[in-house]
Homo-oligomer: A and B are copies of this chain.
Amino acid sequence: MEKLFIIKIGGNVLDNAGALEAFLKDFATIKAHTILIHGGGKIATKLGEQLGIAANYHNGRRITDAPTLDLVTMVYGGLVNKQLVAQLQRLGCNAWGVTGADGNLIQATKRPVKDIDYGFVGDIKPENVNTKLLATLLQQNVVPVFAPLTHADGKILNTNADTIASVLAVALGKLYDVRLIFCFEKKGVLRDVNKAESVIRHLPRELYDQLLPQGVFADGILPKLENAYAALNAGVKEVLIGEAIDLVKNTGPETEGTLITL
């Protein structure tokens, strides 16, 4: 199977013009099939303030009411997405900006209201990814750039960018050898949270099971690792947690970040 890198960037890259430019330059040099997924960064919140749209959060997740939905559709699907695409095009990378609505690439289910109404938020599953159309684009050497938006029943829905990355990785894991890369604010998963240089370069399941009872993993990294192993169990070949600045190495055989495998 051919290699496919699925790379997710968030605010720590998007909100820093210098870091973003450096990242895009490195990204454009990747010589393999690649998909980029971006979050929204601070721009949506800033524009929301200008427009008097208050940001409401519950457990760290933004509640997407109707004005917020319009805001994120504009900012994520329009401004951020198209600026990334135009910049990558200049760098010789045939980027193509999409949301899950385009070509029905990711059909979602609006999150059911239980204790909390998250509003216009889409939950997604690998079965609802249009892998055929995505593979058609990839075979044309196009680089899909996903905004964190999906759709259901005629509506755009807000969907977590990490979730989109994982779901795409699982769905495309049937057709490609996928390395799913999360750009993180640290070099990788640390053996000692106070030592930046204590990156665990390779974290196979066996080592994880050894280190877990020793309390090595901090609360912040645990859910990411659990999600990583879930993706691997569902057919993703490798998951990498690393810093955006190390992208070139992290798409190569000897990674700077933490390569997680079964």
Show the binding face of A for B, using Cβ within 8 Å: 47, 50-51, 70, 73-79, 81-83, 85-87, 89-91, 94-99, 101-104, 132-133, 136-137, 140, 142, 149, 151, 153-156
Contacts and interface: CB of A to CB of B under 8 A. Distances in A.
Contact of A142 (B83, B91, B133): B133
A163 B101 CA distance: 26
Contacts of A51: 47, 50-51
Contacts of A94: 103-104
Q: State the copy count for this chain.
A: 2
Contacts of A95: 101-103
Contact of A77 (B82, B87, B140, B151): B82
B50 A82 contact: no
B75 A102 contact: no
B136 A90 contact: no
Given A89-B104, A103-B94, A153-B90, A73 B82 contact: yes
A51 B76 CA distance: 18
Contact of A103 (B73, B78, B142): B142
Contacts of A91: 154
Contact of A154 (B47, B86, B140, B155): B86
Given A50-B51, A74-B74, A94-B104, 8 more contacts: A74-B78, A77-B81, A77-B82, A82-B156, A85-B151, A90-B154, A95-B101, A96-B102
Given A50-B51, A96-B102, A97-B101, A149 B82 contact: yes
A84 to B, nearest CB: 9
Contacts of A140: 132-133, 136
Contact of A151 (B50, B89, B136, B156): B89
Contacts of A73: 78-79, 82-83
A104 B145 CA distance: 13
A70 B46 CA distance: 14
Nearest to A139: B136
A101 B85 contact: yes
Contacts of A104: 89, 94
Q: When A and B form their complex, which 8 residue pairs have the shortest distance between CB atoms, in order from nearest?
A: A78-B78, A90-B154, A74-B74, A74-B78, A77-B78, A96-B103, A96-B102, A86-B151
Given A74-B74, A78-B76, A97 B102 contact: yes
